Chains A and B, each alone.
Chain A
């Protein structure tokens, strides 16, 4: 089969591309004109450079494609204007859809759990695949959510009016090579081990998911016959707070020791209840392979690399 991945350098797209490299599919990517050097596997894929508003590029990208993994969606961080998010996420998806209808077998949209109704309080848990959608939170979050809902609506509309088969994945907080939030959390744990209370309140209970697990979910719903025209929450099974990040970081950095000074506070802060329950993916046999500890190890490894190589930390790792 021929596959198109949009946004192949992003937090999710790069892992979707990586996962596709383990398959026999022919892969094509659609990527922004200035992004060539950041695309992986350049020798093994077909590359179309262009924006989602570029009809020539879109028609070239979609030509002969069986499945589209649409990962070229944007959100904070860094802060983005509501207009920009609406332009890329909603208008961009609509444009891509106008080329995809009648041509592809399935359209997989990589949305986000930010579209779900307010779920910051434990009595609202668990959020499940088809929990009602409603933007909430700060202005950025609301704007992000509204732009993704518009993108999702465009996809369902293409299904209703043109019979396009689709699947929507909604990952929670994505860990991996482009995981600004998670990197910032690990850096905060290292720099201000005694000042985590604000982060505890900001993030409260989290359930991460690694980019590679989002990719395996996306590939699964891209081809599974029972996944057609459905929405899938993607999250690992570990509810954590920032204090668990601290305790796990200590464990990783103190291999073999058991007297973790942060364990008790971490356990007392953790309610032990899941915020997200990705029931549909589990029913299809998906489970997350990367646990929180593995995600943190990865971030620590990256920080260690920068420090040992004497490389100045890139700005996105230092930023506040």
Chain B
């Protein structure tokens, strides 16, 4: 059949055109814009065009049409006054002339007066609303229906309640009001699904008992206000990762009396609506929540396909020519970070204490995807002397250093002292990053924009502070204290470097699985997943390289999102004290960081 669809650009029009195409019809589509959506663009059975304005063009477009389906009112037109008119009236006139084709117009049940009582139903005989109480859409519908009633054309009207569909702006607005504005749900909510509307339109068009009549359609069920509120709440929890275990199953709700009777539809056309509106509600809530997340009103949980993962996916090498110095490079998160940087094309200078695994790592980077030859420097990071040597060697080899990552992460159960008499944990996690960053100031400042990344830990929040009672050595306490002081020093460093091209940020890379990912083996036993080392590495590399962190300094990140460290770490006076003390211990004094 040759079918004309008007309002083809509306969400319902698009579905209708697709359904007609699938059923093998030839479709002419009138839309507000002349360009067809890509999925219809190359189809010879679909003629997509803007409403013809010239009379002859209009007549020509209607030539051969056997059925016209006008669904313009499925959305409120952008300019309702312009539409009140003319275009649909012209279509009615055209249908009238010589009974050229049958015209089915989509109208709305909004024109009907509200039902009486909690179980009242609205059928086709129901009285209309008073004029003053009519919505804009209802006013348009009434005008249109009145025009049809006057005409001698072969016509039928299908009145729909709200079409519950994620693509329907009105349905999204309805859900959003309940979700965000806490609007009261209507006592009974009886919408209809798009599929049922399309089936009903075609059934009404086919039937010989619908001539000159308006017929109602509605979903096979209605929501009570309680059911609607509960379900929107459940969906909101499920879609924002707040779900309780019982949320996996929708509770049983008492059936509610339908607002709109579909008896006449059934009697006239033999079609009974059957589309469940629960999925339609879910899909609408999903779109509303995604909209709220992308507009920043709700925290976004969905992983962005970010700078690093996109580069990996495309095999890009955004770090070619960039030099990255990384400590603690041969184990755990440090190792995963090094491999990840290598696969993005970075020139790696890895520093760690084991020459064997270090050299193997550099080889693995070089032979890996997009890898380039790098350097391994063996050094005991707890030794000030070794640090000075390493800094000297790095400065000599690399006139520019673009990224410096301190990812040393060892911890100890018993107290150990370094050669210089410092506690080992403090030396590795606070003194080493402090000294190395300062000694590499020249090559860092020589780079266009260098970034220093301190791999921190959420455990810094457990630090007891310098004044705490000195009991027996506790590895966790020492670790927390070292990470705490490291953060204090980082913030001072960020402050000192404010006017330079070097930024300093800290990151909590999550609690990584301690297991074998270190040596690239896949564990044989399934295990509880904290963060995978790969995810941690991704977060670190994002902070160290992604454009969104360019120029950002003094930040504390939780994985890939900006957070804040323990409030006490931001105490400037205390931080300066820690800085001075580190400078004293390392013999840097306060020529530090000035370069």
Interface residues in chain A, defined as those with a beta carbon under 8 Å from any beta carbon in chain B: 82, 86, 117, 121-125, 130-136, 138-140, 142-143, 146, 153, 156-157, 159-160, 200, 204, 264, 267-273, 282-283
Contacts and interface: CB of A to CB of B under 8 A. Distances in A.
A122 B523 contact: no
Of the candidates A138, A146, A268, A269, the one having the most CB atoms from chain B within 10 angstroms of its own CB is A268
Contacts of A264: 252
Interface in B211-264: 235, 238-241, 243, 248-252
Nearest to A141: B526
Contacts of A138: 526
B532 interface: yes
B53 interface: no
Given A138-B526, A139-B522, A268 B249 contact: yes
Given A157-B369, A268-B249, A269-B249, 14 more contacts: A82-B522, A122-B243, A123-B238, A134-B532, A134-B534, A136-B529, A139-B524, A139-B526, A140-B526, A143-B522, A153-B315, A267-B276, A273-B283, A283-B39
Of the candidates B39, B239, B369, B522, the one having the most CB atoms from chain A within 10 angstroms of its own CB is B522
B369 A153 contact: yes
B301 interface: yes
Contacts of A142: 522-523
**What 8 A-B pairs have minimum CB-CB distances, sorted nearest first?**
A272-B279, A82-B522, A268-B250, A138-B526, A272-B282, A139-B526, A132-B309, A143-B522
Contact of B305 (A131, A139, A156, A271): A131
B413 interface: no
B356 interface: no
Given A130-B313, A132-B309, A272-B279, A146 B238 contact: no
B470 interface: no
Interface string B277-294: 011111100100000000
Contact of A123 (B240, B278, B532): B240
Given A136-B532, A283-B38, A271 B238 contact: yes
A156 B240 contact: no
B286 A135 contact: no
B295 interface: no
A124 B524 CA distance: 27
Nearest to A143: B522
B313 A123 contact: no
Given A130-B313, A132-B309, A153-B369, A272 B303 contact: no
A283 B38 CA distance: 8
Contact of A132 (B238, B239, B303, B526): B303
A272 B238 contact: no
A121 B301 CA distance: 11
Contacts of B532: 134-136
Contacts of A283: 38-39
Contacts of A117: 303
B302 interface: yes
Contact of B282 (A124, A135, A273): A273
A160 B250 contact: no
B527 interface: yes
B535 interface: yes
Majority-rule SS of A interface residues = helix
A4 B454 CA distance: 51
Interface in B286-326: 286, 301-303, 305-306, 309, 313-315
Interface in B412-467: none
15 contacts: A121-B241, A122-B243, A123-B239, A131-B305, A132-B303, A135-B532, A135-B534, A138-B526, A156-B314, A157-B315, A268-B252, A269-B248, A269-B249, A271-B279, A272-B280
A124 B302 contact: yes
B81 interface: no
Contacts of B306: 132
A122 B285 CA distance: 12
A272 B283 contact: yes
Nearest to A282: B39
Contacts of A130: 305, 313
B522 A146 contact: yes
Contacts of A135: 532, 534
Interface of B: 38-39, 235, 238-241, 243, 248-252, 276, 278-283, 286, 301-303, 305-306, 309, 313-315, 369, 521-527, 529, 532, 534-535
Given A133-B313, A157-B315, A270-B279, A122 B239 contact: yes
Contacts of B283: 272-273
B139 to A, nearest CB: 34
Nearest to A287: B22
Contacts of A140: 526
Given A139-B526, A146-B522, A132 B279 contact: no
A158 to B, nearest CB: 10
A132 B282 contact: no
Contacts of B535: 134
A227 to B, nearest CB: 15
A204 B305 CA distance: 25
A121 B532 CA distance: 18
Contacts of B302: 123-124
A194 to B, nearest CB: 15
Contacts of A269: 248-250
B283 to A, nearest CB: 6
B313 A132 contact: yes
Contacts of B276: 267, 272
A283 B250 CA distance: 33
A267 B524 contact: no
A89 to B, nearest CB: 13
B85 to A, nearest CB: 37
A206 to B, nearest CB: 14
Contacts of B249: 268-269
A273 B313 CA distance: 27
Contacts of B525: 139
Contacts of B282: 271-273
Contacts of B243: 121-122
Contacts of B527: 139
Contacts of A86: 522
A132 B522 contact: no
B392 to A, nearest CB: 38
A125 B250 CA distance: 19
B214 to A, nearest CB: 31
Contacts of B278: 267, 272
Contacts of A122: 238-239, 243, 286
A157 B240 CA distance: 37
Contacts of A125: 286
Contacts of B521: 82
Contacts of A268: 249-252
A8 B279 CA distance: 39
B39 A123 contact: no
Given A130-B305, A271-B238, A139 B523 contact: yes
B325 to A, nearest CB: 26
Nearest to B241: A123
Nearest to B234: A271
A114 to B, nearest CB: 14
Contacts of A131: 305
A138 B527 CA distance: 7
Nearest to B302: A124
B310 to A, nearest CB: 8
B286 A156 contact: no
